[in-house]
């Protein structure tokens, strides 16, 4: 760790010595040892300021070799050009001498001599996907080195660099950082496992790019709409659909995301049939030929009270928990032996057990624990289909039940069930206990039918899975929203207002695990407290300002600074937010008018608020979820309740 006073003094001397050179590059306010670095997500294991910010000149040299990851190198070059480097020259180690460039970026194996020199006392982590990044200044040049434990580590180091660019007058600079980082969980990402209208190919391509950006390495293709995964699992893909899958697989690889193909044969398979086992292998072979190296056989949402063929009765006994366990173990072990272990590069087989959402032992789980190949990765959704929280003790218990670390399929922010009807789920990723990395092999979040809106919660899930000990929901959540706003402060603030109105996170029961509109609820409660205490002008002034922010949020979100796909997905909710916000502003003004004895104004404003409320209730979503066309819910139970209370106080 870089923390000693002596080390800091040495760095300070280096910065001072380099001052003349840096001033010749770009005139910027000097960054001091106390100047905060930009926030980085996922939260690094260690990040410290090691130098002043490094100005980005017009010309940059990038030093790579044959072991440098191509995706990392391409991303690095793109980032440098995006931030103002007109000429980026890529050379091999040793060829940079004499080029005269004032910024040299070294990317590759941390054991490479030139990378090691710049990294100094920062050593590369032992963990897979780990990396080290460090800036260094000398009178001759500014340097930056990124060394990765492996190709993914190099790529993730560049993704961290992407977040270290800071404005410096009319130019850009790179935050003077030393970063030593690695993931706590080996599997991190998303599982497209929802029911209802599917993502488009464009959605999936966008999701894969997003996952790479947040250092997530897993995408499980378990689309319920793909009939070739479930209902017609034996049938080969038509050529055009197979080609589309190939595009997705290649895109995933370009972002260091493992594309997992999840075939769900449980609805009709005859476990004892050699023909059906061969059909599974044939289906896996078809996508292996596309480049897929990770496979899953999920058995979720099926019954084990009946067999699909008479042969299974003879092979495994009467239907039931133990028999289902024996049958599934038989298939999983056979595929592991005859496919996974015989195909170069294939990852351990994954599965979702039929009993995926509790802690109790059973004859079914006993079969899996005692007979399932130890390499098979078992998924679990927590203590319920949509769990309100997940603790380390629960993860420890379920790992003991299955005899291995489990892989968490987290059903948040998925919104394909009745309790989520009419909702976007934009609350933070929360209520998952630090320390889960000791008991879980990884986390994949099950997203909404709305891909870009899902990225808010997925951002937090990736942040948590990378560094659960350093995760803070209230730190990560604003960063996720700001990302959608391209970092624009006004648009980010509008998204925070909007997301507060879509904060409720339901479960399959009647009690949500995250409350609706907590910011608005607190402001409304404070308003009524001050109003009743007699400080009416101040109370109305403060709440009205926030009501105006609600009313105007959609217009700000739609003015071009927020990601287009989010704006399109959230369209009905944005429409309704404007109307509900307008109703709140008018009803609050009506209440104030009535308090001042202006009954005519109070009546007129109340009528206007009523009209806005009626229009808001008439807005409908598109047919984008299994629950169909519904009223988009906006701060329900908080915003509408306040308007009703204010109306009663106005006319009463």
Q: What is the CATH number of the domain that holds 558?
A: 1.20.58.460
In a domain, 510, yes or no: no
Shared-domain flag, residues 337 and 466? yes
Domain contains 59: yes
Residue whose C-alpha is closest to residue 229's, from 241, 240, 216: 241
532 shares a domain with 427: no
Q: In this predicted structure, what is the pLDDT of residue 27?
A: 35
CATH of the domain at 169: 3.30.379.10
410: in domain: yes
User: Does residue 496 belong to any structural domain of this protein?
Assistant: no
Mark whether 111 and 31 lie in a shared domain.
yes
Q: In this structure, are residues 53 and 28 in contact, taking their beta carbons and an 8 Å threshold?
A: yes
Looking at the structure, tell me whether residues 122 and 232 fall in a common domain.
no
Domain final position from 181, 196, 216: 181
Tell me, yes or no, whether 48 lies in a domain. Answer: yes
Residues 384, 267 share a domain: yes
CATH code, domain carrying 355: 3.20.20.80
Would you state the pLDDT for residue 20? Answer: 30
The verdict on 255 and 209 lying in the same domain is yes
Helices and strands of the chain, counted as H and E runs: 21, 18
Q: Are residues 416 and 522 in the same domain?
A: no
Would the pTM of this model clear 0.75, i.e. be above it? Answer: yes
| Cα 94–chain centre separation | 40
Asked whether residue 326 falls in the same domain as residue 472, the answer is yes
Q: Which of 144, 78, 148 is nearest to 105 (CA)?
A: 144
333 with 478, same domain: the answer is yes
- Give the integer Cα–Cα distance in Å for 621 and 295: 35
- Inter-residue contact 160 to 178 (CB < 8 Å): no
136 and 253 fall within a common domain: no
495 in any annotated domain: no
SS3 98: coil
Contact 72, 158 (CB under 8 A): yes
Distances (CA, A) of 153 to 39, 114, 162, 209, 348: 19, 18, 14, 16, 21
pLDDT beneath 50, residues of the chain: 1-29
Q: How many domains does the chain have?
A: 3
Whether residue 492 lies inside any domain: the answer is no
User: Do residues 343 and 403 share a domain?
Assistant: yes
How do residues 49-74 score in pLDDT, each as one tens digit?
999 999 999 999 999 999 999 999 99
Domain membership of residue 236 as a residue range: 187-484
Domain boundary among 147, 181, 215: 181
* Residue 472, in any domain of the structure: yes
What is the secondary structure of 497-522 as a DSSP string? HHHHTT--B--SSSS-SB-S-HHHHH
Say yes or no: 286 and 359 in one domain.
yes
Q: Model confidence over 220-247: pLDDT tens digits? A: 999 988 999 999 999 999 999 999 999 9
Final residue of a structural domain among 430, 463, 484:
484
| Spatial contact of 194 and 224, defined as CB atoms under 8 Å apart | yes
């Amino acid at each position: 760790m870089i923390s000693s006073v002596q080390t800091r003094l040495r760095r300070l001397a280096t910065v001072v010595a380099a001052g003349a050179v840096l001033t010749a590059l770009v005139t910027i306010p000097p960054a001091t040892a106390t100047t905060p670095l930009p926030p980085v997500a996922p939260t690094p294991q260690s990040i410290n300021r090691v130098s002043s910010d490094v100005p980005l000149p017009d010309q940059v040299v990038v030093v790579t070799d044959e072991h440098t990851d191509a995706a990392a190198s391409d991303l690095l070059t793109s980032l440098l050009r995006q931030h103002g480097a007109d000429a980026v020259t890529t050379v091999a180690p040793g060829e940079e001498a004499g080029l005269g460039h004032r910024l040299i970026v070294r990317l590759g194996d941390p054991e490479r001599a030139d990378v090691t020199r710049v990294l100094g006392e920062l050593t590369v982590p032992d963990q897979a996907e780990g990396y080290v990044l460090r800036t260094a200044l000398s009178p001759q040049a500014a340097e930056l080195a990124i060394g990765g434990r492996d190709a993914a580590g190099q790529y993730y180091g560049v993704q961290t660099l992407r977040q270290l660019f800071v404005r410096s007058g009319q130019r850009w600079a790179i935050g003077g950082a030393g970063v030593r980082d690695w993931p706590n969980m080996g599997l991190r990402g998303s599982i497209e496992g929802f029911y209802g209208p599917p993502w488009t190919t464009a959605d999936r391509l966008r999701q894969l790019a997003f996952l790479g950006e947040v250092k997530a390495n897993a995408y499980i293709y378990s689309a319920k709409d793909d009939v070739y995964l479930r209902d017609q699992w034996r049938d080969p893909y038509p050529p055009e659909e197979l080609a589309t899958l190939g595009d997705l697989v290649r895109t995933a690889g370009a972002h260091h995301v493992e594309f997992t193909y999840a075939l769900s044969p449980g609805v009709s398979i005859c476990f004892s049939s050699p023909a059906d086992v061969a059909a599974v292998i044939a289906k896996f072979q078809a996508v292996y030929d596309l480049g897929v190296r990770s496979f899953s056989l999920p058995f979720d949402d099926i019954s084990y009270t009946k067999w699909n063929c008479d042969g299974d009765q003879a092979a495994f006994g009467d239907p039931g928990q133990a028999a289902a366990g024996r049958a599934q173990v038989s298939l999983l072990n056979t595929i592991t032996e005859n496919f996974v272990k015989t195909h170069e590069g294939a990852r351990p087989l994954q599965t979702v057990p039929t009993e995926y959402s509790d802690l109790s032992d059973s004859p079914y789980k006993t079969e899996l624990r005692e007979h399932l190949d130890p390499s098979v990765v078992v998924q679990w959704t927590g203590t319920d289909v949509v769990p309100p929280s997940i603790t380390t003790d629960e993860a420890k218990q379920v790992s003991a039940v299955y005899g291995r670390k489990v892989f968490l399929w987290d059903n948040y922010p998925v919104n394909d069930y009745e309790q989520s009807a009419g909702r976007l789920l934009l609350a933070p990723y929360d209520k998952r206990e630090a320390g889960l990395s000791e008991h879980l092999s990884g986390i994949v979040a099950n997203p909404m039918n709305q891909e870009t809106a899902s990225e808010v919660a997925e951002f937090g899930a990736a942040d948590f899975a990378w560094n659960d000990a350093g995760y803070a929901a209230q730190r990560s959540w604003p960063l996720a929203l700001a990302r959608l706003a391209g970092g624009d402060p006004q648009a980010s603030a509008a998204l925070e207002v909007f997301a507060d109105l879509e904060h409720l996170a339901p479960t399959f029961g009647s009690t949500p695990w995250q409350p609706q509109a907590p910011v608005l609820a607190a402001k409304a409660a404070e308003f009524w407290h001050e109003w009743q205490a007699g400080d009416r002008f101040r109370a109305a002034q403060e709440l009205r300002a926030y009501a105006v922010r609600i009313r105007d949020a959609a217009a700000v979100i739609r003015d071009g600074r927020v990601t287009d796909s989010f704006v399109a997905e959230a369209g009905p909710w944005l429409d309704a937010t404007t109307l509900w916000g307008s109703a709140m502003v008018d009803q609050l003004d009506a209440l104030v008018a009535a308090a001042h004895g202006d009954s005519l104004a109070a009546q007129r404003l109340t009528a206007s608020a009523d009209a806005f409320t009626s229009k808001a209730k008439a807005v409908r979503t598109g047919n984008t979820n299994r629950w169909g066309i519904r009223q988009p819910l906006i701060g329900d139970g908080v915003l509408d309740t306040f308007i009703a209370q204010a109306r009663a106080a106005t006319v009463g």
